[in-house]
Structure 1
Amino acid sequence: MARPASGSKQQERQRLIAEHILREGTVKIDGLHEQFEISFMTIHRDLDELEARGLIRKSRGWVTAMSSSVAEASDVFRQGQQEHEKAALAAAALEFIAAGQSVFLDDSTTTAQLAPLVAARAPLTIITNYLTLMNEVRQAREIALIGLGGTYMTWSSSFLGSVTTNSIRSIAADLFIMSSSAVIDDVCYHHSQQTVEVKRAMFESAARRILLLDHTKFERRALHALLAITDFDEVIVDDHTPPETVDRLRNRGISLTVAPSLSES
């Protein structure tokens, strides 16, 4: 029997399993046991957790991907997508953060890339509903953490609902940094209405707002309208964004930063 994995190893394994299932669509559970060389008990435990996060569905020896335009892929899967682009966006966003500020960070895996960087701007106050981010920054020196409670959603590893939004509305922050699931006709969209409500509350409670978008967001669709790109004080895109998209956004009067790839900077 396989020995219990540490938290980080288990998370990485689950991410790889999720990527494989989403790529294939439907796979046999026996095949996953053989491919990842882990016990049946471990594979079923991993699949149960991924199913609880709303990413996959188990049925009679098979497992099926559940990601679609109306169901956001879980953070386990999203953490492994466009990692280099997200890191570049976070590095560019850091330039807009000043010491002493209070900063809302949403529950996106893009803004989570700021976690190892914010110490360079300490002292700071970080305000977030994203449990993964809370765990990353809670021990950083001179970083005050305000964790927003509410109803915990395993699929997003974040707190959502009326308790969360009411807490946000009692705070006046200097800055809000967020990402979005998709951009359609220059409007940000998200799969979850509850997530939309939390992001809007953060937007309304911040003095300055920054939007981070990797190039794939312009190719995707989601269900619920969030905010227009023109509502933000600054939009940061990665350098794989098509030049015609960059030109069009700038022609609309949007303050736009193109984040260079870190390997080239």
Structure 2
Amino acid sequence: MKNPEAGAIRDRGPGARREQVRARVLAQGSARLDELATLFDVSLMTMHRDVDALEAEGWLIKTRGAATANPSALVEAGVRDRTSAMSAQKAAITAVAARLITRGQTVFLDDSTTALGLVPALVSHPPMTIATNFLPVVAEVGEVPGVQIQLLGGEYHARQEACFGRQTIEAIALLNADIFFMSTTAVRDGKCLHRSEATVMVRQAFMAHASRRVLLVDHAKFGRRAAHVLCDVSEFDIVVTDDGIDPETLADLRASCSDVRVAPVGD
């Protein structure tokens, strides 16, 4: 289906079109080049050039006939871009994960936009204590009677809108959570991977001080690569993914974790 705004985007030049292509692929996780060409009313050759340019900038990875979101780009992207990426899958995953929330819990949330989606469920179960290094969580919670926020300070990273470093890790060590919800950049060979060493260190601290650990990971992250090993998948009590995961990957995941829950997208 052709984008009704394709003509206007085309008239504004290749820069405007590439921004729309970038946003669409980051939101979906991947897209076929022929479908993008049709959507933006350009030739397939033009779309190849657009994707080549976005790949050179580090946003996308070009594969045969398709473009996928570069996981490193999503780390460097702001919260708005990360929130829009795989939004339907994240909503499905958090809907399943929300069933693990009960009144009176102390909950750790990492700086992932997937975990951020749990805030409405958390604030509906007071009394509740939420501890996080992610400022958007604080903004989402606001002032809710019976919900206490522990903002874990440290070195503030503006693009990630989160705190990292030694002080953050020390603050985590003073707490003990009933449950920790987190995501990761990539899952490969039974390991969770992340591009940022600072993020890895903070999430490892969260894991060390939580009674239960829950990994929230959409299907597009399986098979990706990232520089730093965060942990083995087997270290999680529960893994929640979406139904876009392929059967072989799901079988491997279940070999690593005994409790894997698959969220239906669109239900």
Of the structure 1 ranges 191-200 and 250-259, higher mean CA displacement relative to structure 2 is found in: 250-259
Q: How many residues align?
A: 210
Alignment match, 1:244 = 248
1:66-115 per-position Cα deviation (integer Å, ceiling 9, x unaligned): 44565623222111101111011111111111110100000001001112
**Among candidates 157, 161, 177, match of residue 165 of structure 2:** 161
* Pairwise CA distance, 1:19: 5.5
1:179 and 2:191 aligned: no
Alignment match, 2:44 = none
Q: What's the Cα RMSD here?
A: 2.4
Residue 117 of structure 2 aligns to a residue whose secondary structure is helix
Alignment match, 2:220 = 216
**Among candidates 123, 130, 139, match of residue 126 of structure 1:** 130
**Among candidates 257, 260, 263, match of residue 259 of structure 1:** 263
**Among candidates 101, 107, 126, match of residue 105 of structure 2:** 101
* Pairwise CA distance, 1:251: 3.4
Of the structure 1 ranges 198-207 and 112-121, higher mean CA displacement relative to structure 2 is found in: 112-121
Q: What TM-score do you get using the length of structure 2 for normalisation?
A: 0.73
Distance in 1 separating the partners of 2:259 and 2:85: 26
The runs of 5 or more residues in structure 1 that have no matched partner are 1-15, 25-63
1:92 and 2:96 aligned: yes
Distance in 2 separating the partners of 1:225 and 1:70: 14
**Among candidates 58, 61, 73, match of residue 76 of structure 2:** 73
1:37-86 per-position Cα deviation (integer Å, ceiling 9, x unaligned): xxxxxxxxxxxxxxxxxxxxxxxxxxx84445656232221111011110
What is the 5 A alignment of 1:9-28?
A: 20=20, 22=22
Alignment match, 1:51 = none
Residue 213 of structure 2 aligns to a residue whose secondary structure is strand
Distance in 1 separating the partners of 2:131 and 2:190: 27
Would the aligned equivalents of 1:236 and 1:256 in 2 still touch at CA under 8 Å? yes
Q: What TM-score do you get using the length of structure 1 for normalisation?
A: 0.73
Quickly say closer, same or farther: Cα 1:21–1:241, change in 2 above 3 A.
closer
Of the structure 1 ranges 233-242 and 111-120, higher mean CA displacement relative to structure 2 is found in: 111-120
Distance in 2 separating the partners of 1:155 and 1:103: 24
The runs of 5 or more residues in structure 2 that have no matched partner are 1-15, 25-55, 60-69
1:154-208 per-position Cα deviation (integer Å, ceiling 9, x unaligned): 1211001111011001111111110000011110011110000000000001111
**Among candidates 152, 157, 170, match of residue 174 of structure 2:** 170
Alignment match, 2:237 = 233
Residue 175 of structure 2 aligns to a residue whose secondary structure is coil
Would the aligned equivalents of 2:190 and 2:256 in 1 still touch at CA under 8 Å? no
Quickly say closer, same or farther: Cα 1:19–1:259, change in 2 above 3 A.
farther
Alignment match, 1:4 = none
Between the aligned residues of both structures, percent identity stands at: 37
**Among candidates 93, 114, 120, match of residue 118 of structure 2:** 114
Would the aligned equivalents of 1:175 and 1:208 in 2 still touch at CA under 8 Å? yes
Distance in 2 separating the partners of 1:244 and 1:183: 14
Alignment match, 1:201 = 205
* Pairwise CA distance, 1:254: 2.5
Residue 192 of structure 2 aligns to a residue whose secondary structure is strand
Distance in 1 separating the partners of 2:143 and 2:82: 24
